[in-house]
Structure 1
């Protein structure tokens, strides 16, 4: 009983138990996890700009509204090609000696999940416009604007990244909007968020509660893509820039309604090349990323998008068949390499 009366021995013993338990319960399992869970071989380390952008992402509270995790539920398919796994976060290290770095998996989806946003929205121009004022590209957005990440210059230098916005959002004094290094770093981090492909020897877990696929699913069944498929592909990959009405955003992204490139069959090769490899029409509009190559479009998906755009918003172009454009799609894919 003298042991309990001696506060020195009591506290030393309690401290010893605490240290031992911490080692076995927390430290050893953590070290074991670092050995067992390694980044996927195809995972690309963050660049210096992306690392700085990640710090900005944290400091501006983006994690409060965006998740970075794809659950094995059917509703999460739109965010990634497979459910997230421990290896996706294994490359996360400490910010410095004093601070650990959260995985930024998030807690809710007030905004969309960002797991694969680098593939879903690879356009630097779109991301910069979206940061400057999200309502320009997504009218219903509740995301705050970040105009303090931009400068207004009357005569930008050739090294400045000028952000093209519609006239009603442009500065009234005629100056131009220029992205600061912080804006470019934040975009670099967003563009780095790409779901790494699994090695051939690994099989991704199935999404639960799978819905039955439509018979017209050309990508899976190899048949002809329907206009409905084309509309879904347009909404997922094109609508953010060219808008639901096909009118684009004057000064930022070109319209598809009444476009000669869309309607004229003589421009079919150029049309497919733009879908697959993107296009830079500066200074009139922002540059378009290589949407088709990044998303791995097949000839069926390209045909579905073309047929939807040629039959929408008053356009009346000739419909195409996947077999008809396969050689062109394969050729422009080869050019991209």
Structure 2
């Protein structure tokens, strides 16, 4: 009887105080982390809170942004709660944006990511990015085409709307993996605010395991993205001698192999296969000259790929995963890994490109 009475009481008493009705919640749709103005603080956290609308339509992206400066991210969120009348719910936080100046001095990547990775209600499929000039500007953008707060970011990185190889889409789970995986360094897209209604994403930044190391230009971003996401739908500017044209690539496939990995001078061989057609030309195009155009395009691609990899090598970063491939094909202990990191700065790159089936567009 005592047991039955205990069960009956447990059914009457609420199981906990953690549950809140939906009308008592603020849904955080994106999180910004900037460098604070107060020199005695370490972080400035911005939370973009969606305001529910009775009807979903263009321009109905109502929201508020709560900003707090603190020495820890945990404390910042607790202080943010004191500025609103509802419980903060991070279950819909699908974008996390770091300020462009956040990692300039003092602040390291691991101490920021520790809170993000541990927070159980932040989705590991959240999009990551760098906000330029700051994260607040990205979160404050108010495109008239948005129907939901931060929906422009979600569509850009999900490529459910626009599709371009200039946009690097980085998930939280992959970014965290890159932080902890030997032989693969973290990358993030750079989100620039042109004005209050427009965002631009066509560059990226590369980290080592601790700090931001190198920013890539749009053309370099495009090349690296072909190795990372394998995206096509890109253009290739070919200018050599009397050739001045633009190729539209319908298919781009990039891969690499490592030879002599156990020697003092390993060689990384890259191959880029391109299927394209001529989209624009400043000079008359002749079908008889298509092999010449293919050759010029191949040489240009090989030069650009080699230049990019040498730039990454000089900066001491490996976002493509050459070191990861080495680990996957060898039994690598600490001694072998130390040897690889020692030879990586002197590795040679042999780049090859095959440009096939170049058509001349719709012109006769």
- TM tier, smaller: under 0.3
Larger proportion of strand: 2
Structure with greater contact order relative to length (CA < 8 Å, sep ≥ 6): 1
TM-score of the two chains, using structure 1 as the length reference: 0.26
TM-score of the two chains, using structure 2 as the length reference: 0.25
